[in-house]
């Protein structure tokens, strides 16, 4: 039998014939359903970052709201100073190498049970970066430092505890303590600089 189907044609047109190895596993990550859709959009570079919007219409300012570099999915979620700070904390907590791209995240989705909390926290990290960016872009919030991203991540994880059992809630509690520790360090640094 040949390999042609409507599905293969759709993939060819929309994704250049290249599908993600991990696309089906993302639906099993422990997170709210709307976050699954968000992760899918991220995985296929469909999130409307400024560079993606510029493909559809004229955009006057292509810079990241956190650091003034050109905003792209890769930059916003991995190379921006805000994202790098979050990923360094995630890496410290789980004792893994620093996450640098979507392949790093999506490759962990295949070992669902072993890395259930890592997968949840990485999903929450991506969502927190995105919603914080949108707060600045559309709600007029002002950037007050790296602590904003950590506070947003902590709030999101607190909302997601309803999805967890007692042991998982304990992991989230310990991670929240680490976020608070890093936020406190940022506040002390800011206080000394003034």
pLDDT at position 21 = 55
pTM score: 0.84
Cβ neighbours, 10 Å, residue 48: 12
**For position 193, what pLDDT does the model report?**
47
Over the chain (194 residues), the average pLDDT of each successive run of 10 is: 64 56 78 95 92 89 91 96 96 95 86 86 97 92 86 97 96 96 77 47
Residue 189: predicted pLDDT: 59
Alpha-carbon dihedral of residues 117, 123, 125, 126, nearest 10 degrees? 160
∠ at Cα 75 (135, 71), nearest 5°?
60
pLDDT value, residue 194: 46
Tokens in use for 97? Answer: 């190498």
Angle value at C-alpha 177, between 78 and 137, nearest 5 degrees: 40
Nearest Cα neighbor of 123 from 67, 172, 81 is: 172
Which CA distances in Å does 56 have to 15, 51, 59, 70, 184?
Answer: 17, 9, 9, 17, 42
Residue 13's pLDDT is: 62
pLDDT of residue 35: 96
Cα 113 to Cα 8, 25, 31, 71, 120: the distances in Å are 30, 12, 14, 34, 11
């Amino acid at each position: 039998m040949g390999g042609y189907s409507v599905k293969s044609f759709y993939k060819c047109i929309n994704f250049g014939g290249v599908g993600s190895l991990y696309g089906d596993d993302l639906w099993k990550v422990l997170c709210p359903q709307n976050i699954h859709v968000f992760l899918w959009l991220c995985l296929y570079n469909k999130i409307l970052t400024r560079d993606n919007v510029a493909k559809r219409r004229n955009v006057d300012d292509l810079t990241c709201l956190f650091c003034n570099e050109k905003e792209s999915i890769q930059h916003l979620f991995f190379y921006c100073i805000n994202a790098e700070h979050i990923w360094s904390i995630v890496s410290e907590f789980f004792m893994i190498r620093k996450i640098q791209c979507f392949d790093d995240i999506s490759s962990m989705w295949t070992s669902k049970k072993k890395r259930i909390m890592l997968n949840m926290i990485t999903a929450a990290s991506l969502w927190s970066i995105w919603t914080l960016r949108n707060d600045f872009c559309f709600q007029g919030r002002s950037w007050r430092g790296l602590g904003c991203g950590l506070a947003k991540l902590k709030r999101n994880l607190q909302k997601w505890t309803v999805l967890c059992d007692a042991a998982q809630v304990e992991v989230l509690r310990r991670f929240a303590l680490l976020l608070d520790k890093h936020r406190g360090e940022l506040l002390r640094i800011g206080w000394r600089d003034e």
